[in-house]
Amino acid sequence: MVFHYPNGHPSHYNEASKQKMQGKDKSINFANRGMRFEDAINQSNDYYRNHNLAVIHKKPIPLQIVKVDYPKRSAAVIREAYFKEASTTDYNGVYKGYYLDFEAKETKNKTSFPLKNFHEHQIAHMEKCMEQDGLCFVLLWFSSLKRCFFLDSKQLVYYWRNKENQKKSMPITTIEKNAIEIQPKIAPRIPYLEAVDQYLQAKEKN
């Protein structure tokens, strides 16, 4: 079998503009490869798609378009638009008949994952998807530790809805106990479908 390395991914205007917008450099090197976590996820999605293993896409960032110019004989140009808050999670798609829906987040912290990384509308969206038997989860990246976890959204929602925990953070010990650790590799960078398989197997047993 020929081993395909993932193609170099074009630079993401979305990420770049979002970073700039927030006025701070959020680039945390991904496993010393000069790559951000989100880029690693996008490359993994490309890998899975190109190998016909799953069809997962990142959704475009929603924008409120206010003004568009229509120059003669050339493409329409958006001249005024604003970033809008998304009403869903960033990623969804299909894998072996399962509806997958997830969010990928990173922290520089070493001992816990701050819950402020998530928003109420994302939690509400995951709850609605789980009601429809969607497979919802979050991928958590501890950039300082270079450790990645697959956490079932049920765990996150349970933790989030517990008032004592709100706006606090989830200790890494809790994550280690309840999540599935993912070992980053070359291709795909974040082999999260292995964690999905492991999760489904454990679910079948119960």
* In the complex, least distance from residue 111 CB atom to a second copy, rounded to whole angstroms: 33
Residue type at 134 in one-letter notation: G
Query: In the bound complex, what is the minimum distance in angstroms from residue 36's beta carbon to a second copy?
Result: 17
Give the count of beta carbons closer than 10 Å to the beta carbon of residue 142. Answer: 20
Residue 144 CB, nearest approach to a second copy (Å) = 28
Task: State which residue, 18 or 147, has the beta carbon closest to a second copy.
Answer: 18
Residues, the chain, total?
206
Task: Look at the alpha carbons of 110, 9, 125, 139 in this order and tell me if their dihedral is positive or negative.
Answer: negative
How many Cβ atoms from other residues are within 10 Å of residue 66's Cβ? Answer: 10
- Contacting residues toward a second copy, per CB under 8 A: 13-14, 17, 20-21, 23, 49, 52, 54-55, 57, 59-66, 68, 70, 75-83, 86-88, 92-99, 101, 125, 128-129, 131-134
Residue 183 annotated as binding site: no
Smallest distance, Å, CB 129 to a second copy? 5
Closest contact distance (angstroms) between CB of 164 and a second copy is 28
Decide if 126 contacts 136 (C-beta within 8 A).
yes
Q: Which helix (H) or strand (E) holds 93?
A: strand 91-95
Q: Has 64 been labeled as part of a binding site? A: no
End-to-end Cα spacing for the chain: 36
Q: Which is nearer to a second copy, 20 or 146 (CB)?
A: 20
Q: Among residues 28 and 61, whose Cβ is nearest to a second copy?
A: 61
Q: Is 122 annotated as a binding residue?
A: yes
Please say which residue, 67 or 167, places its beta carbon nearer to a second copy: 67
Nearer to a second copy, 20 or 161 (CB): 20
Residues 12 and 36 sit within 8 Å (Cβ to Cβ) = no
Neighbour count for residue 91 (Cβ, 10 Å):
21
Q: How far is CA 142 from CA 17, 145, 185, 195, in A?
A: 23, 5, 16, 17
Report whether 132 belongs to an annotated binding site: no
Binding-site positions for Mg(2+) read: 88, 90, 103, 122
